[in-house]
Structure 1
Amino acid sequence: LIVSLTIGAFFTIFGLLAIDDATREHWIGSAGDELLSFELFGEDLELTTELVRVAGGLAAFSGFYFAISMLTDSTYRQEFLEELTSEMRQSFRERAKYLKLRKASA
Structure 2
Amino acid sequence: MRDIIREDARLIILRELHAQSNYSLNDSLLQQVLENFGIAKSRDWVREELNYLAEVGAIEKTAVGSVVVATLRPKGGEHVERRMVITGVKRPSPPEA
Q: Quick one: higher RCO (CA 8 Å, sep 6+), 1 or 2?
A: 2
- Same fold? TM cut 0.5: no
Q: Which has the larger radius of gyration?
A: 1
Report the TM-score, using the length of structure 1 for normalisation.
0.29
